[in-house]
Structure 1
Amino acid sequence: MTTVNREVDRGEVVAALRESADNPSAFLALNAGNAYFSDPSVKGVVAYREAGRYLMQFGGVFASEADRERLLRAFLAFARTARRKVVAVQLQRSDAELYDRCGFTVNQVGSSYALRLPDHTLRGTKFMKLRNKISKARRAGLEVTEVPYDRAADELVDIDREWLRSKGRHVKEIEFLVGELGGSVQEHRRLLLGRLEGRAIGYISYSPVYGSRPGWLHDLSRRRATAPPGVMEAINLHALETFRDEKAEWLHFGFTPFVGLSADHEVPGASGPTTRFMRFMAERGEKVYPSASQLAYKEKWGPDLVLPEYLAFHGRASLPAVWQMLRVTKSV
């Protein structure tokens, strides 16, 4: 089977996500630097990036249930024509089963977390520390507002620069699996900014989530090194309350690699060496990716839902392919 890749614009990708995406992080498919595959005979898109001899595909196939396998097989034919191997990341459980049927080796790579908004409350002793941190930030004079990106761009760049500098000289900004600001789809995102004494001190960007658990994704967040404790929690609570008032159903905290790993989540045929590598990263990989701190932030909100997410290799699992994935995300 051969196929020709049809050029896809971002408006078409947004439409495909609205119609068929059930991945909480699907909007990240619109990140700058991604390419899109679409077959003329199938409605839907596949987001990917080239990395060496691999096509790194993100988030599954964004098409109707009836068309997903057909589009995936067309993408595999496209990859063969280009003499590339496909590696897919951040697949949901239903994706994992589809990819397994299509000749992939599939392993759990981490988990994502979500909060159901209509019933959420911070009352009770469970959230006492969180409430205290937020109260302390508010008493310090923190003001949180939703702002248009173009009116705050210079302040955000300044925060980003200070945030990156605080991480160390050799640290790079992670890409591909995290969100971004600006560009042609910025109008779909929400931006919450915190200020102390008029100075921007931290922000969180939220992306739309479609599908069976619609709402918002707690996406990109940054703060100054000098920001007092509780700033980010206070910003997120302001957003949470806003979204709940708007009748949004879910607040998603997104994907964290190397956490929530369980043999119960693996699909048949999972790679033993890849499973051991993921467990090694869970225990000792904090220098590569700050999974423990991300997980601690997400768990403090008392998530209602934990979803396993998967990494898939067309054919046999490959540690060189894992290395290329880490390079694409700038984790190394």
Structure 2
Amino acid sequence: MSTTEESVAFDSVAQPLRKYAENPSAFLALNSGTEYFLAPGTEGFVAYRTAGGYLVQFGGVFGPEGEQEKLLKAFLEFARAKRRKVCAIQLQRSDADLYARCGFTVNQVGSSFSLHLPAFTLKGSRFMKLRNKISRAKRSGLRIDEVAYDEVAGEIDALDQRWLRGKGRHVKEIEFLVGQCGGPAQRERRLFVGRVEGAVVAYISYSPAYGSRAGWLHDLSRRDNDVSPGVMEAVNAHAIDTFRTEGAEWLHFGFTPFTRLDPGVEVSAASPVTGKFMRFLADHGEKVYPSASQLAYKEKWAPQLVLPEYLAFHGRARFGAIWQILRVTKSI
């Protein structure tokens, strides 16, 4: 069976996510607007969105390992009955192997970056520039607090609008592969804001990450364009201190497309042509997705763990599927 986001109970998808998800970005499956496929007799689900003739699936199959192949094949039958093709984005390596067995063409599309918090420190020459940026931001009068979203929802919305206008009138806000504020999932997120003279000038939203590397996902973030350099870094450093004090193990910076592409991590079901196209986007794709600036921000924290993430097409690779992924994420 398939249900829309509006008709499925939040806990019916949140519970298997907490129990089985290994993907550090799995919480994004709870974004508003996502559809869910659930099969009778299985505990998990598939998260997807419809785009043209495709069902664009996110993050692998969320369910018991022994049921994932059954659920994926049931989803393919569901798509076939709707006369839709299936493609998938942000698969982990274990997902890539499963999808290859089920007839998918699978290619690396980018990488995810994670920081092991118990070993992290900003001391030493390696982080001198980062410390200086944070100090400069604090000297500008920055105050950082963790707050409930409802307390600042209006200010967050206004900041989002200013941020979007600053990107240019043709720029759309990327969806599906980034988080949200508000909605039923908000109660599980954490929100840190930076204020100057009492006004919110920056924020970072963190979502829970589950599985063997449980912790927090550095998710949606925004800042005013005219704030002091280092504001975002200061907010994140404050959150890191909070998470470490609480005993959290990992801070995940999430997925960045078209980065750290490595032919050595491709699976046997990879398409050479798609691989070349991914490398082309890595070199020339800034207008499609701002990978370079995202990568620079993530790398300044010296993440210890970098893992490949994959794109998959049921059957042969189709550039039409890539186009629909770009559409559904509003990257174009």
- The two structures have a TM-score, normalised by structure 2, of 0.98
Determine the structure 1 residue equivalent to 2:2. Answer: 5
Residue matched to 2:163: 163
Indicate the SS of the match to 1:11. helix
* Other-structure match for 1:228: 228
Q: Deviations over 1:199-256 (max 9, x none)?
A: 1100000000000100000000000111110000000000001001000000000000
Residue type of the partner of 2:41? S
Instruction: Tell me the SS of whatever aligns to 2:50.
Output: strand
1:36 to 2:36 alignment: yes
1:186 paired to 2:186: yes
Take 1:269 and 1:44, find their aligned partners in 2: how far apart are those partners?
25
Counterparts of 1:63 and 1:32, CA distance in 2: 20
Letter in 1 for 2:172: K
Matched, 1:58 2:58: yes
Q: Following TM superposition, by how much is the alpha carbon of 1:269 offset from its aligned partner in structure 2, in angstroms? A: 2.3
Distance 1:164 1:45 in 2: 33
Q: TM (normalized to structure 1)? A: 0.98
Please state if 1:286 is matched with 2:308.
Answer: no
The amino acid of 1:300's aligned partner reads K
Q: Is the 8 A contact 1:145 1:193 kept in 2?
A: yes
1:247-258 alignment runs, 5 A limit: 247-258=247-258
Instruction: Give the match's secondary structure for 1:39.
Output: coil
Please give the residue correspondences for 1:37-186 in structure 2 after superposition, counting only pairs within 5 Å. Answer: 37-186=37-186
Asked whether the equivalents of residues 104 and 314 of structure 1 are also in contact (C-alpha less than 8 Å), the reply is: yes
Q: Could you say what secondary structure the match of 1:236 adopts?
A: helix
Cα contact 1:16–1:44 (8 A) shared by 2: yes
Classify the secondary structure of the residue corresponding to 1:66.
helix
Aligned-partner residue type, residue 28 of structure 1: L
- Quote the Cα distance in structure 2 between the aligned partners of 1:5 and 1:166: 39
Question: What is the letter of the counterpart of residue 252 of structure 1?
Answer: H
Tell me the amino acid that sits aligned with residue 295 of structure 1: L
Q: What does residue 246 of structure 1 align with?
A: 246
Contact in 2 for aligned 1:8/1:38 (Cα 8 Å): no
2:112, 2:307 within 8 Å by CA — same for their partners in 1?
yes
Corresponding residue for 2:14?
14
The one-letter code sitting in structure 2 at the alignment partner of 1:236 is: N
User: Structure 2: 5+ residue runs without aligned partners?
Assistant: none
Dislocated runs of 4+, deviation >3 Å: 4-8
Is the contact between residue 28 and residue 179 of structure 2 (CA under 8 Å) also seen in structure 1?
yes
1:5 Cα deviation (Å)? 3.4
Tell me the C-alpha RMSD between the 2 structures.
Answer: 0.8
Structure 1 residue runs without a partner (length 5+): none
**For each residue in 1:93-138, what CA deviation from the matched residue of structure 2 results, as whole angstroms up to 9, or x when unmatched?**
0000000000000000000000000111011111000000001111
Percent of aligned pairs sharing the same letter: 65
Q: Distance in 1 between matches of 2:125 and 2:286?
A: 30
Residue 8 of structure 1: how far off its partner (Å) = 3.5
- Separation of aligned partners in 1, 2:77 and 2:248: 39
Instruction: Confirm or deny: 8 A CA contact 1:104 1:316 kept in the other structure.
Output: yes
**One-letter amino acid of the counterpart of residue 111, structure 2:** S
Kindly indicate whether the alpha-carbon contact (under 8 Å) linking 1:8 and 1:37 is maintained by their aligned counterparts in 2: no
CA offset at residue 273 of structure 1? 1.2
Are the counterparts in 2 of residues 27 and 208 from structure 1 also a CA contact under 8 Å? yes
Is residue 57–residue 87 contact of structure 2 (8 Å, CA) maintained in 1? yes
